[in-house]
């Protein structure tokens, strides 16, 4: 394919322009979008056999053969589908963009694809859904965006096969599927006018190598340089709650924004763009038996919470097979819309809150001339009408309640600003008070004490995070800091103490006091010998275990030297790695032991990390104080069935960990 060839050529030439991030202002200002999961899975509507708990994954979850699942296309005839009505609802709800499944993991395309017969034109309906969505969205000022699955359970060349499938994998060519994927993406980006976002998914399987993600991103950049691409174009996420994933250090590897799923990051992700996608019910695709519907109050507060942390909210509807939205979704979209008519000023084009947390609600902000509007969406209305805005250093100008002519009084009580509110809120979900202040917000935060721990051997370094324009002053004797106490940004602690630190501004204390006690510990004495050979002595055992056995009581199946701690690819196997750890200096050391299945790390006879039991790939961390010299070290591991993994990293606390290899151990 020409597009794929261009993409690969750009990679080969290291053409940075191919990965230039598009302008994202419209997306950041929009803040609120509609997600639509629609496809053949709407026909069974969540039921297969006696089970009624399925959703858009029903083909895989219910293990429906391809030939059987394909028959749903003959029943898919959404005669009640009206794209204008869908976009009217989205517009009424205050949504600024729509992301719809052009193809989900089942492989069926809702558009007229010239490279596939498994699409909407093979159904009795025979009309391009994407054409109608794109046209209707633009008429309402909504930006059309496409979801497209990388994973494809239907295509004969997609690998891996499902574990329950009978189709043989022999003869399948993943590169052939990749060309098909690129061809469909080209259709989506060239046949429907400008597209706001390409929202990829299904990238987590082992066959989707980094080169494929890079090439797909390059194709999008070439065909539609203004189209935003999400992070799921590449295999970088660390679970559904992950925002941007562990990148290789380049924006190219992870796309333009992160996609936490069904999850709102606790503090947002400063410096990164992100969007939480979430269902209204319990499923993405339509389930006729759904009972777990989120309330309008929950959905509105989710929107406010997400925007207050600098993110976007992509709220999902799973339409029925006839082309209509479930009435529960319609009701909630209308209720959100009623709230947005009054309070959208606190959502659109706003930035994350300058406050770390507010006990009664959330805050967004917007620069207006030389000042700032602070939007306080109040969840818990104060019974006495006295709303305390903690630690705000700016001069207040005026306050108002969106949707009301009631007066809002403004006064100051020390470092706090007090807003005098009417007796009742305007909406049970959230009522918004706008406070106009001079300049950029100055918030008096309690300093954060940053250290690798509370224990040390000889010395520990401590740093402090404090609000902009603030000074951190500290004491080590358990007394409260004063304006005359020493200023600090970084401190080396060499004696046991109780550290207290507070923020000061203009010679006055403007924060609570942060406290931390530090304790000196005695390192474990070195009792090992250096050994005559570098590396580990690895001994192997055979057996069927659910937990680590006592290897000392079992016969060995072999032993040899090893430079690394590593798993065996076999099943029903155990390994012991033994030696003497060479510790370069007295200190506290941190070890991270990753394994599938169980493992355990013992240093000097003391268990440091216990990662035992049957489980998938899992990492656990432990610390121990060690004296300079040689320390006996043992790593035990076993694998029953399925995947196998084992690795060990270490380093002094506060320093990056590295693999514990042959140069660190002797036997």
Residue that finishes a domain, picked among 495, 520, 545? 520
Determine the pLDDT at residue 15: 46
Shared-domain flag, residues 11 and 156: yes
Query: Using CA atoms, how far apart are residues 337 and 324, in angstroms rounded to an integer?
Result: 19
Shared-domain flag, residues 595 and 660: yes
Determine the pLDDT at residue 349: 98
Determine the pLDDT at residue 528: 84
- Asked if residue 10 has pLDDT above 60, the reply is no
Span of 13-27, 198-212, 429-443, 446-460 with lowest mean pLDDT: 13-27
Bigger pLDDT: 16 vs 158:
158
Shared-domain flag, residues 45 and 77: yes
**Average pLDDT estimate for 6-20:** 49
Shared-domain flag, residues 642 and 562: yes
Determine the pLDDT at residue 247: 39
- For residues 501 and 484, the answer to whether their CB atoms sit within 8 Å is no
Give 291-326 pLDDT, tens digit per residue.
Answer: 999 999 999 999 999 999 999 999 999 999 999 999
Q: Which percentage of the chain shows pLDDT scores above 70?
A: 95
Determine the pLDDT at residue 252: 39
The enclosing domain of 309 has a CATH number of 3.20.20.80
Runs of H (alpha helix) within 503-644: none
**Average pLDDT estimate for 424-430:** 96
Determine the pLDDT at residue 16: 52
Determine the pLDDT at residue 339: 98
Shared-domain flag, residues 418 and 546: no
Residue that finishes a domain, picked among 321, 346, 371? 346
Determine the pLDDT at residue 665: 95
Strands (E) in 383-496, as ranges, are 386-389, 396-401, 409-413, 416-420, 431-438, 448-450, 455-456, 460-465, 471-475, 490-493
User: If you write DSSP's letter for every residue of 573-595 in order, what string do you get?
Assistant: EEEEEEEEEEE-SSEEEEEEEEE
- Asked if residue 604 has pLDDT above 80, the reply is yes
Shared-domain flag, residues 156 and 93: yes
Give 143-162 pLDDT, tens digit per residue.
Answer: 999 999 999 999 999 999 99
Q: Note whether residue 443 is domain-resident.
A: no
Q: Note whether residue 40 is domain-resident.
A: yes
The enclosing domain of 604 has a CATH number of 2.60.120.1560
Q: Cβ atoms within 10 A of the Cβ of 489, count?
A: 10
Number of domains in the chain: 4
Q: Note whether residue 280 is domain-resident.
A: yes
Shared-domain flag, residues 145 and 101: yes
Query: Using CA atoms, how far apart are residues 236 and 232, in angstroms rounded to an integer?
Result: 7
DSSP state of 199: E
Determine the pLDDT at residue 250: 38
| Omega prior to 88 cis, within 30 of 0 | no
Average of per-residue pLDDT values in the chain: 93
- Asked if residue 5 has pLDDT above 50, the reply is no
Shared-domain flag, residues 85 and 132: yes
Give 365-417 pLDDT, tens digit per residue.
Answer: 999 999 999 999 999 999 999 999 999 989 999 999 999 998 899 999 888 99
Q: Note whether residue 635 is domain-resident.
A: yes
Determine the pLDDT at residue 518: 97
Query: Using CA atoms, how far apart are residues 637 and 610, in angstroms rounded to an integer?
Result: 11
Alpha-carbon torsion, ordered 69, 71, 73, 76, to 10 deg:
-100
Q: Note whether residue 351 is domain-resident.
A: no
User: Residues near 235 by Cβ (< 8 Å), separated by ≥ 6?
Assistant: 203, 204, 208, 209, 210, 213
Shared-domain flag, residues 394 and 455: no
DSSP state of 42: G
The enclosing domain of 510 has a CATH number of 2.60.40
Determine the pLDDT at residue 269: 87
**Average pLDDT estimate for 330-358:** 97
Query: Using CA atoms, how far apart are residues 125 and 136, in angstroms rounded to an integer?
Result: 18
- For residues 501 and 463, the answer to whether their CB atoms sit within 8 Å is no
Look at residue 488 and give its three-state secondary structure. coil
Entry field: residues in the chain: 667
Residue that finishes a domain, picked among 379, 407, 438? 438
Domain containing 483: what range?
A: 448-520
Determine the pLDDT at residue 468: 77
Q: Note whether residue 376 is domain-resident.
A: yes
Give 63-105 pLDDT, tens digit per residue.
Answer: 999 999 999 999 999 999 999 999 999 999 999 999 999 999 9
Query: Using CA atoms, how far apart are residues 380 and 428, in angstroms rounded to an integer?
Result: 9
Q: Note whether residue 300 is domain-resident.
A: yes
Give 219-261 pLDDT, tens digit per residue.
Answer: 999 999 999 999 999 987 766 666 655 433 333 347 999 999 9
Confidence of residue 7 (pLDDT cuts 50, 70, 90): very low
Give 19-40 pLDDT, tens digit per residue.
Answer: 688 999 999 999 999 999 999 9
Residue 435: name the closest of 404, 398, 405 by CA: 398
**Average pLDDT estimate for 449-463:** 94
Determine the pLDDT at residue 242: 64
Confidence of residue 2 (pLDDT cuts 50, 70, 90): very low
**Average pLDDT estimate for 31-57:** 97
Shared-domain flag, residues 477 and 428: no
Burial-class residue 420 by CB neighbours within 10 Å (0-12, 13-18, 19+). middle
Q: Cβ atoms within 10 A of the Cβ of 74, count?
A: 12
Shared-domain flag, residues 173 and 271: yes
Give the up-direction half-sphere exposure of residue 88: CA atoms within 13 A in the CB hemisphere: 8
- For residues 585 and 637, the answer to whether their CB atoms sit within 8 Å is no
The enclosing domain of 424 has a CATH number of 2.60.40.1180
Shared-domain flag, residues 411 and 464: no
Query: Using CA atoms, how far apart are residues 614 and 595, in angstroms rounded to an integer?
Result: 10
| pTM confidence score | 0.80
Q: Note whether residue 566 is domain-resident.
A: yes
Determine the pLDDT at residue 347: 98
């Amino acid at each position: 394919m020409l597009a794929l060839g261009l993409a690969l050529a750009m990679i080969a030439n290291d053409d940075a322009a191919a990965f230039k991030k598009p302008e994202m202002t419209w997306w950041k200002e929009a803040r609120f979008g509609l997600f639509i999961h629609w496809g053949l899975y709407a026909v069974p509507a969540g039921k297969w056999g006696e089970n009624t708990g399925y959703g858009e994954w029903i083909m895989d979850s219910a293990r429906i053969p391809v030939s059987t699942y394909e028959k749903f296309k003959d029943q898919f005839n959404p005669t009640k589908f009206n794209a204008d009505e869908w976009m009217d609802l989205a517009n009424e709800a205050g949504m600024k963009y729509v992301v719809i499944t052009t193809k989900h993991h089942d492989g069926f395309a809702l558009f007229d694809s010239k490279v596939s017969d498994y699409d909407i034109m093979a159904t009795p309906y025979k009309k391009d859904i994407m054409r109608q969505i794109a046209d209707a969205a633009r008429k309402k000022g909504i930006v059309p965006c496409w979801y497209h699955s990388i994973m494809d359970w239907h295509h004969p060349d997609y690998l891996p096969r499902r574990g329950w499938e009978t189709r043989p994998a022999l003869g399948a060519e993943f590169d052939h599927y990749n060309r098909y994927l690129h061809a469909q993406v080209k259709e989506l980006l060239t046949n429907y006018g400008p597209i706001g976002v390409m929202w990829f998914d299904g990238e987590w399987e082992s066959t989707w190598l980094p080169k494929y993600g890079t090439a797909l991103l390059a194709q999008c950049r070439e065909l539609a340089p203004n189209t935003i691409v999400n992070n799921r174009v590449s295999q970088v996420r660390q679970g559904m709650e992950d925002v941007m994933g562990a990148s290789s250090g380049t924006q190219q590897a992870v796309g333009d924004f992160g996609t936490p799923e069904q999850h709102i990051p606790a503090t947002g992700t400063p410096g990164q763009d992100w969007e939480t996608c979430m269902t209204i019910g319990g499923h993405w695709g339509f389930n006729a038996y759904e009972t777990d519907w989120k309330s309008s109050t929950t959905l509105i507060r989710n929107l406010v919470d997400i925007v207050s942390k600098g993110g976007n909210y992509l709220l999902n509807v799973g339409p029925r097979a006839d082309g209509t939205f479930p009435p529960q979704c319609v009701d909630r979209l209308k209720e959100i819309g009623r709230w947005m008519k009054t309070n959208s000023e606190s959502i659109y084009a706003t930035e994350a809150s300058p406050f770390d947390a507010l006990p009664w609600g959330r805050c967004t902000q917007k620069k207006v001339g030389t000042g700032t509007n602070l939007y306080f969406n109040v969840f818990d209305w104060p019974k006495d009408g006295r709303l305390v805005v903690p630690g705000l250093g700016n001069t207040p100008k005026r306050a108002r309640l969106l949707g009301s002519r009631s007066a809002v009084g403004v006064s100051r009580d020390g470092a706090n600003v007090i807003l005098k509110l009417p007796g009742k809120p305007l909406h049970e979900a959230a009522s918004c008070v706008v406070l106009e202040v001079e300049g950029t917000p100055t918030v008096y935060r309690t300093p954060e004490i940053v250290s690798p721990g509370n224990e040390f051997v000889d010395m520990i370094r401590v740093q402090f995070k404090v609000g902009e324009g603030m000074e951190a002053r500290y004491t080590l004797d358990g007394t409260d800091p004063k304006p005359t106490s020493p200023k600090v940004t970084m401190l080396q602690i060499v004696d046991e103490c109780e550290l207290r630190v507070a923020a000061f501004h203009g010679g006055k204390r403007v924060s609570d006091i942060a406290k931390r006690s530090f304790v000196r510990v005695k390192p474990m004495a070195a009792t090992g010998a250096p050994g005559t050979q570098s590396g580990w002595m690895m001994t192997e055992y055979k057996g069927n275990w659910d937990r680590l056995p006592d290897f000392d009581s079992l016969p060995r199946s072999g032993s040899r030297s090893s430079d690394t701690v590593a798993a065996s690819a076999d099943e029903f196997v155990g390994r012991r790695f033994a030696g003497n750890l060479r510790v370069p200096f007295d200190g506290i050391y941190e070890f991270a032991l990753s394994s599938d299945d169980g493992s355990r790390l013992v240093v000097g006879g003391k268990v440091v990390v216990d990662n035992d039991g049957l489980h998938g790939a899992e990492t656990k961390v432990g610390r121990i104080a060690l004296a300079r010299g040689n320390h006996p070290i043992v790593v035990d591991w076993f694998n029953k069935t399925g995947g196998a993994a084992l690795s060990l990293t270490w380093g002094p606390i506060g320093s990056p960990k590295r693999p514990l290899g042959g140069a660190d151990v002797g036997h």
